[in-house]
Structure 1
Amino acid sequence: MSQVQIVRSFIEELSKNPRKHPDRIPADKINSSALSTPIGIPKTPFPKKKFEQEEKKVRILAKTVRPPVVSASAEISTQSTVLDLKESLAPQLNTVVPSLRLLYKGKPLVNSKFLTDYFDPDVTDVSLQMFLLQNS
């Protein structure tokens, strides 16, 4: 049986047995005490501390996976993007940003994502794997 046949049979069954739903509830069926019962809103104190975003820094050490082993390091804000990180590492490696690939725990880092998407904000040191692509 095809999907179209299943849908058609379902629609036919609905047309044979229509269900009736009331658009409105009659006033005599509404319990009047339910309408007059006050609903208490809990009072919660407003927090006195201001939540300020501290700019935290993370030290990153990136090493190549394949020989020759090359490493680069950077200290960067956790609010930065992966592209910002690559731009800070590229001059140390004498390469351009598009030829640099970074991995964290075996997963590639996407340029448009923030470092906080990958790392815990409380972490201060992170090690990354790095691939340098050949320029052609």
Structure 2
Amino acid sequence: MDIKSVLDDRVIDLEMKAENKEEAITYLAEKLKSAGYIADVEEYVADIYLRESQGQTGIGNYVAIPHGKSDSVTQVGIAIGKLDHEIEWETLDGKGVKLIFLFAVGKDNENARTHLKLLAEVARTLGNDEAVQALLEAKTVEDLKAVF
């Protein structure tokens, strides 16, 4: 499984509206639920915040990759939200966040392996400043997918 195979237009919003981290995570979780990736928004969001409490997921360069294992996940996926402004988030570089990759991952071993593979692939792409800039400038889902 590679990143392109899990990018789903139904859970990508390049004009996301959110004023803070909580709104962003909840909004993306609701997209995951409506697309059938998770069964319960509250349980899933609680699991995301449990992981957030263990270490920051803002990796810098205006990007965050919140994730956490949850029994609520029915299918591995990644919701992506892009904002036109920074929101406050705990990040490695102290900047806010404009681009969020919210991973939906179950708790079993197979899901864990898939999650690590996808996380590594996303991290590799996000380690490239030009790729991040292209993601931040993406106007369409096709623009976003082309970066990967």
| TM surpasses 0.5 | no
Normalized per residue, the structure richer in strand is: 1
Higher RCO (Cα < 8 Å, 6 or more apart): 2
